[in-house]
Structure formats: structure tokens, C-alpha cells
Structure 1
């Protein structure tokens, strides 16, 4: 037991030491791969609250990303966004998903410990057929989407409502590649 606790404390300390040095005031810092989404946001027209971009991964040709305009220090976290910013992010992501895939859409936010990019981003894609597992919360609108905390979540439509699957880790796997 003592070894397990020590190991968990070590992992927590290690994770806390991983720093994101993305600084919009320093364009050179945005050249790092982990800062590339920050750079994308900086190139968007001013006043754009949420930036939509096609995922540039060759393994995900039909995916999009929704990025909030807001930067936060270090590893950006969903919890750093205001309620209004978070609602705007989810609303924009869902609108794009509906535009692309009708009622077969899903949006996903991976757990923070799995992020390889410093900037907060939501994955937008087509929901895999037959995917529905675990516990979920039924809501009516994006402003009711709960704060995910350090965990991930994924959302999809069912009969005019939204199913929000909370407490997940790698959530983008519910989306078509």
C-alpha cells in the first residue's frame, strides 16, 4: 500500500512539473509542437470567441477541433474558462458537428493528463455506430454541460436531448477516424 501511494504521489509531482511555455506575446514559443494550437488561435481574426479548424492528423481526416480564443498559463484547462466561454465553446463545437453529420455527431474532450497540446480543445466528429456506455447525464442544452474537472467527457444527441458521458479518460475514441 505504501509503495502504491508513493508511486501515485510521484506521478502527480511529475505531471505538475510538465510545463507549457506557450506565450502569445512570444511568437517563438508558439513554434513548439505542443503550442501549435495556441498559434492557430493567434492567427484567427480578433474577436473570434471560438476557432474551428480541421484536425491536421492524417489519421483523423474527418475530424475538426474547436478552440477557445482564451489562453491560460501553463497547461490550459477547461476549468480556466468562464461559464460563458465554456458554453460558447460547446455551442460552437456542437453546431459544427450538426452541420457536418446531422444527428450522428459527437464532441469529445480528453482527460487533461492525456493532452499533448497545451491549448484547450474539443474534438468534433461523427459518432461511431452503436456507441453508448457507462453512466451519462441527460441535458437539454450546452449551458448545462458540467465542468469536466481533470477527467474527459463526450457528448452526443439522443431524441432531442444531449447525453453527457462524464468521468472518462480517452474520449475521442467514440468518433470515426
Structure 2
């Protein structure tokens, strides 16, 4: 069972993560049914993937993030101790943001794995919930099982805002790449919020 998919930047390769703990790379041009590469280092299911110019970043239920540097042929791994539900690069490419089932977001230095910040206050114990960084890397955000979206100041770690999105679980979030707008998905709805006033559109 496939749990997450991503294109590479050129849209020539599809990268998929599965509950069988593998990451598989597929050639879009040849459309061959066999993967061109299988990455099988995880000990449990792959819950989240992100792909950059030369890196594959994965989060796993085994509590580890893994970053494959395809150019250097290196694997870097960081252990957080709780199943990871979502993972992403910062916009400047220097940090990793991880969400896990202990209701904690963690900001790590991409190169050293040093813990730069922890963010708590939301509820994440049962579902795969998204985490995001704002379009200028000033705030980190998380979906929550209590129907809210939470934002923290990236540097200070203080809770900046709690948005009442709905009554059910908020599972998916996405920031616009250049504008201060946020998409949130909950209970069969997709909501668009503008950052200036955080009013729903």
C-alpha cells in the first residue's frame, strides 16, 4: 500500500513511500512497471516524503527521518523517538521540520541533526497530520486533532496563533509558495485563509 508520492523537480521521476517500509523511484519517461531504485532502510512504514533537487527526505513510523543525498550517495538519519507523520524542508533548505505522534513538532539542522526547536500545544496522537513552514520561514504550523491549526514563532518557539478551522480533525495544510495564504482540509472541506487577517475566504 502506497502512503505518499512526490515528483522530482524535473517531473521525470516519481518517488513513492509505502507501508512496507520502502521508498521506490519510478521513471516517468519509460513508464516501466519496475522501479529504477528501491530504498529499504526504514524499519516501518513511510509516512511522508519530500523531494528537492538532489535529495529525498522521508519520515517513517519507526521514528526516524532519513535524508538521501543522491549526488553524494549518502544517507543521513535522525531519531526522534515517536512515529513521524509529516516532514518538510525549510524554504532556505537549511532545516527540517518533523511532526510526530507525541504532539510535538521538531526543527532540526539539516546537516548536523541538531535540535533547534520544539513546538507543542496541538493534539496529534492518532492521525497523520501535516506540518508546514510559512512562506518566509518565520513560523511553523501544524494541523491538529482538535479542529484547529496552530502556529508558533520559529525562533522564539512561542505559540503565535490558534485558528478555529472546524470541529473535526484538521489533517492537511499547505502554504502558498509566495503569498501569505494557507489551505486547510477538514471534514470534507478545503478552506483558504489569508494570513493578514486570518479570515476564511
Greater helix proportion:
1
- Structure having the larger proportion of residues in strand: 2
Q: Which has the higher relative contact order, 1 or 2, with Cα contacts under 8 A spaced 6 or more apart?
A: 1
Do both proteins adopt the same fold according to a TM-score greater than 0.5, normalized to the shorter chain? Answer: no
Structure-2-length-normalised TM-score:
0.25
The TM-score, its normalising length taken from structure 1, stands at 0.27
